[in-house]
Structure 1
């Protein structure tokens, strides 16, 4: 499946339709370390009419001040303040919903504050959406990995997408359950977004990229996951603790379910941990596992030094998932950026 999926994954391209305007929308909470580079990469996009809007979601640092400074020099940028977070809303999803209300573009590009767009990325995504008649085009940015803790957690994203999702979110699959999206980088047609109720239709979700793609498909729209490593780069977390907590917060919307997690454990542990425990008898299986990881690494432009860590990364991923499931069964909460989610 990984071999087929990697062959199907495409770099987006296409002509921008006449009259198109792009709204680049950035939710930001306590992002003073990231927001300048993110905004500047958005403003450098060329070949398309655009506006950039940052929604300051109750930041307790200099996020808003940095955006105001840049906006004073570039009228395409403006800062908005998110209203207080309503009950039963996830913070990022609420900020995205408010951003969409402010946007005037024909297309919306939701961008996490830790993402840096490469030159021409926005035009390529919009052109691809028009050429393929897709209401949503999303991609996983090249993941910048700067520590061992990140190497044990972040690469699992592309491993799961390439190895276990048939066709890896390509539009021809049609079925909502086979949709895929990455909340770090997702472009959506404004009209289609409005028709499905926008982010309000998934207001409790911590997994907005995936849920938005599936909501659009349920409404009959086409969505597609494209090669994102050439479009943008992102350092999701810094260090093991941040990575662990970041993946923990939305685990129960993915693998960490009472029925699904035992199956995932058998698949992942059997394919990527057991062969290394049973060496030398399973040398071929271990080599195949590393080969799969190497092929994904090449396509996604992740660091090569992370490949030998494969069994440890899978073990860490399963530990995160089982921790999340245990916490959910016990009615525990997950904290993220000063907000608590889940049952009390």
Structure 2
């Protein structure tokens, strides 16, 4: 009797397991993949739209200070500065802060400054306690800027000749809807074309666009000043001195390594509007080189982004449910089919899972076409999700242990 009851209980559990695997989870996967694809389809045109000629010409050339923090950037600092100097349609200066470099960064900038009076070099100082190196450098650069329009630029970004003109025009626009209607754009960020070389770069670097376009509602971001809609790319930021001072400057995020998120947040906390746009046609950037730099780069500021107690579990569910779960349920359906179980549930699970897989890949393939990004990364999209989530959890536990990833020779 006991043996029969055990078998009956096992049969019930097995039935429930099959219901979950063949009906519930495939439907959940399709729903999550569909929601991400739907958000992407609405956000992508908004991200790209400003390219389409909505910017009206200005009557006079704006004046702008381009501010570049540089630490051991000898390999590319000359190209970066020369690309800025080649810009037309603006009056500009370039201020570079040599942040305690151990290479020839300072000497290379001095050589350019001798030939072009628009270039200045600031010498670095000992990093004060409690400051992140980049935030301290940006704060000093802003204090030294001659003009009221400020553009913070990473040293590995190469601007195109009309980038400054286009960015200043976009910065001069206002919100045209929602509670922030009529408010100026106080902080503008642009995402450069991300150049990728190694396989890890191709797989993981485009995740910045995937997260941004699949999970941030752009219509709300551009019509409200709520801090929860803060987003940006720390490689390019444009602001004006008055708004920058009102935000609290980089001093308000002095300990942060994630200015791409934290700088827009402090603007919004002070009631100001921020925006981010596609900068594919404005600049190129090779952010990291090789797997080691990609891993360290993603780990160094992950806890300020997703790898924290508030966001890590929801994003694990959203990302794995939309992009990994469909493969699990499809595999289970195929196993049931091979066992001669050809019922409606098996066909439902197989077709629903396959549809979810198509939808989950769609944003990456469209992004590879429109932005553009590597087709290799799009092909390995599920692997991208798995690696990205593993790194987020690694960063979460590392942060709990009080450890920080060293970056450019610093732990801060």
Question: TM-score interval w.r.t. the shorter chain?
Answer: over 0.9
Match of 1:316 in 2: 387
Provide the C-alpha distance between the structure 2 equivalents of 1:5 and 1:95, rounded to a whole number of angstroms: 33
Provide the C-alpha distance between the structure 2 equivalents of 1:16 and 1:169, rounded to a whole number of angstroms: 28
| CA RMSD, Structure 1 to Structure 2 (Å) | 1.6
Provide the C-alpha distance between the structure 2 equivalents of 1:17 and 1:173, rounded to a whole number of angstroms: 30
Which range is displaced more, 221-230 or 184-193?
221-230
Match of 2:44 in 1: 6
Asked if 1:116 is matched to 2:116, the reply is no
Aligned length: 341
Q: Is the 8 A contact 1:272 1:286 kept in 2?
A: yes
Provide the C-alpha distance between the structure 2 equivalents of 1:16 and 1:137, rounded to a whole number of angstroms: 18
Provide the C-alpha distance between the structure 2 equivalents of 1:320 and 1:62, rounded to a whole number of angstroms: 33
- Partner of 1:85: helix, strand, or coil? coil
Q: Which has the larger radius of gyration?
A: 2
- Normalised to the residue count of structure 1, the TM-score between the two structures is 0.95
Deviation at 1:215, TM superposition (A): 1.2
Q: Whose helix proportion is higher, 1 or 2? A: 2
Q: Is the 8 A contact 1:21 1:107 kept in 2?
A: yes
| Pairs within 5 Å for 1:159-308 | 159-167=210-218, 170-279=221-330, 281=350, 282-308=353-379
Q: Is the 8 A contact 1:169 1:224 kept in 2?
A: no
Deviation at 1:19, TM superposition (A): 7.2
Provide the C-alpha distance between the structure 1 equivalents of 2:220 and 2:235, rounded to a whole number of angstroms: 16
Q: Is the 8 A contact 1:15 1:131 kept in 2?
A: no
| Pairs within 5 Å for 1:44-63 | 44-63=86-105
Which range is displaced more, 132-141 or 43-52?
132-141
Provide the C-alpha distance between the structure 2 equivalents of 1:163 and 1:242, rounded to a whole number of angstroms: 25
Q: Is the 8 A contact 2:261 2:305 kept in 1?
A: no
- Partner of 1:229: helix, strand, or coil? strand
| CA distances 1:101-130 after superposition (whole Å, capped 9, x unpaired) | 110112111110111111201110101111
Deviation at 1:248, TM superposition (A): 0.4
Gaps of 5+ in 2: 1-38, 175-183, 332-349
- Partner of 2:279: helix, strand, or coil? coil
Q: Is the 8 A contact 1:149 1:243 kept in 2?
A: yes
- Partner of 1:163: helix, strand, or coil? helix
Deviation at 1:17, TM superposition (A): 6.7
Q: Is the 8 A contact 1:24 1:50 kept in 2?
A: yes
